A and B are shown apart, each in its own frame.
Chain A
Amino acid sequence: MSRKSRRILLGLAGVAVIVVVAGILILRGPGPMTFAAGAKVALADYRAADPTGVPPALAKASLVERGEYLARAADCMVCHTAPGGKEYAGGFAFKLPFGTLYSTNITPDRETGIGDYTDQQFLDALHRGVRRDGARLYPAMPFTSYTYITDADALAIKAYLFSLPPVRATPPRNTLAFPFDQRWAMTFWSVLFNSDERFRPDPAQSPEWNRGAYLAEALAHCGECHTPRNPAFALDNYDKFAGAVTAGWRAYNITSDKATGVGAWSDDDLVSYLTRGHAPGHGTASGPMGEAVDHSLGRLVPEDIRALVVYLRSVPPVASPDLPATLAPPAPASYRQGGNLADIRGRRVFEGACASCHSWTGQSPLTPFATLTGARAGNDSSAINVAQIVISGTRRHTPADALSMPAFGNIYSDVEIAAVANYVTARFGSKGSAITADDVAALRKQGSQ
């Protein structure tokens, strides 16, 4: 080989390395708080009130009580509890395209739970996605968010979990197909996509913003559902909070975009939605967001909710081009006008099972929770959430008088559910959907449980 050609080769290799590195960097994208351009500092160097830990009212509470609040804020319970199962005993199924993952038992049972975890092992799991036996966790466990939790808060959570009654329960075996069953591969993924750093406040922002950022990014892990993912299944913060489909449900755009995000919502609307899962004129939280409100957000103190609102408002607007910018007004009172008239089945299902609660106008005569007017789901021409709610219903606990919707997935066929979803979006949204029975069949498979 001539020197020249060697040089060319070397040059090419160099370019390749640069391309790969650049590619990785692009893929890896910005961190969750990068959009706030201020220089972040280590927590120890931050002068204002500590944005981590528990709210001041709980400052004097015991370690376990503090851990309980933080565990709630991190919403550990929902994913670590199987339907009808014992709390925190695992077995909740994450249905992924390449198999099913089951959450683990995080009660202090020594054999089947985490009773034998040392502090360091617990931190390794939470921050780095490394199990006690050294195996790698899948990112269904949001360790790339939890990594921002301080050691002190993580250990408070551990203390709380260890105060629970141990439950002997082994979750079912994961059913992942090759190559996704190769846990070791997650090592590389983690190197690329887990920053493995603790929360660093931004002195240029208000203390309230910093508290909100800690809650949203480290604990509540909002981005895990609301931020789209890149091809490597990592959060794509170029479009931070712009909405995504996760586990068969669509998490909507919560950027400050006025038309398709929450930019036009009042503070009261946001507070109400986060604490009650419902805001007048904006619909009702269902599916995973309903659970997040019931088990986590709805149980945070008001200052923390306000901090979250402050933080949310600062997230740069990103438009969702596929969501209609305008919401539809109430539908006509008569079934004769409005709705998708092409498929009679949609109206049939609606008149039998839906109209009694939601009314033909979409404004429920029974409860604001059932009012469809203004709800994002009805205005979403993918109809994903409408179909999903028909299939699995909603089970709301917050506030005490919240009404739930029963699940209809067992009595209506895919054809009927597609028809009613198309009917509902046509009647109550500004642009109707056209989903098919096959889409519904796919949605049925994706819903986690």
Chain B
Amino acid sequence: MATLKINGETKDFDAPDDMPLLWVLRDVLGMTGTKYGCGIAQCGACTVHLDGQPVRSCLLPVGEVRDRAITTIEGVGATAAGAKVQKAWLDLEVIQCGYCQSGQIMSAAALLAATPNPDDADIDAAMAGNICRCGTYVRIRAAIKRAASEA
């Protein structure tokens, strides 16, 4: 039995060290907001924060996490940047099917926390690892700017 610090709570779980965090979250802990899209760090659907940094949980062995703080889409609303991003996402109606959006929001929240006033190149650098098959990119860009302007 091991523990993880997720969204400020301590969670016990039982899983091998090499199991990616994604599957611990989804299949062991039932936290299904974090999505599986590719399993090879190419789509960003599985993005979570590790001590505030965005990481792709589909390739992150849970054994590497140790006592670092994990934030998932279920908890990112409790952070200032996360809340702003979620609000902007709704204000501009970014989302279509929504499957990629947990990851998009996590990446955007990490971007805003590190770069409060991102320009287009900052957005590209932080968001290009997140694929949206529904093509919501135009609104993602606008919503990040909107969130940034609501400091």
Contact = CB atoms under 8 A, between A and B. Distances in A.
Nearest to A405: B40
A348 interface: yes
A355 B40 contact: no
Query: Which of B53, B60, B128 lies at the interface centre, i.e. has the most chain A CB atoms within 10 A of its CB?
Result: B128
B145 to A, nearest CB: 18
Contact of A351 (B18, B40, B128): B128
B33 interface: no
Given A348-B128, A355-B125, A367 B18 contact: no
A335 interface: yes
Contacts of B50: 365
B55 interface: yes
B47 to A, nearest CB: 8
A356 B56 CA distance: 7
A403 interface: yes
A353 B121 CA distance: 16
Interface string A120-137: 000000000000000000
B114 to A, nearest CB: 8
Contacts of A367: 59, 61, 64
A56 interface: no
Given A365-B53, A367-B61, A355 B129 contact: yes
Contacts of A351: 124-125, 128-129
A403 B59 contact: yes
A400 interface: yes
Nearest to B46: A356
A410 to B, nearest CB: 13
B128 A357 contact: no
A31 interface: no
A45 interface: no
A348 B41 CA distance: 16
Contacts of A401: 17-18, 61
A353 B128 CA distance: 8
By DSSP majority rule, is chain A's interface helix, strand, loop, or mixed? loop
B79 interface: no
B60 A356 contact: no
Contacts of B61: 366-367, 401
Nearest to B61: A401
A165 interface: no
B44 interface: yes
A38 interface: no
B118 to A, nearest CB: 11
Given A367-B59, A367-B64, A406-B40, A352 B53 contact: no
A347 B126 CA distance: 12
Interface residues of A, number: 19
Contact of A366 (B17, B59, B129): B59
Given A365-B53, A366-B55, A403-B59, A356 B42 contact: yes
Nearest to B38: A406
A353 B53 contact: no
Contacts of B17: 401
Given A365-B55, A366-B59, A400 B18 contact: yes
A352 to B, nearest CB: 4
A400 B129 CA distance: 27
Contacts of B42: 353, 356, 406
A13 to B, nearest CB: 67
Interface string A384-420: 0000000000000000110100100000000000000
Nearest to A404: B40
A351 B40 CA distance: 15
Contact of A335 (B56, B60, B125): B125
A335 B122 CA distance: 8
Nearest to A365: B55
A161 to B, nearest CB: 34
Interface string A341-370: 000000110011101110010000111000
A409 to B, nearest CB: 15
A352 B128 contact: yes
B18 A356 contact: no
Contacts of A353: 42, 129
Contact of B56 (A347, A366, A400): A366
B129 A352 contact: yes
A334 B125 CA distance: 9
Interface string B17-55: 110000000000000000000001110100000100101
B40 A366 contact: no
Contacts of B59: 357, 366-367, 403
Interface string B118-151: 0001001100110000000000000000000000
Contacts of A355: 125, 128-129
Interface in B73-118: none
Nearest to A408: B42
Given A356-B42, A357-B59, A400-B18, 4 more contacts: A352-B129, A355-B125, A365-B50, A366-B56
5 contacts: A353-B42, A355-B128, A366-B56, A401-B61, A406-B40
Which 9 pairs between the two chains have the least Cβ-Cβ distance? Answer: A335-B125, A352-B128, A351-B128, A356-B129, A401-B18, A356-B41, A357-B41, A365-B55, A366-B59
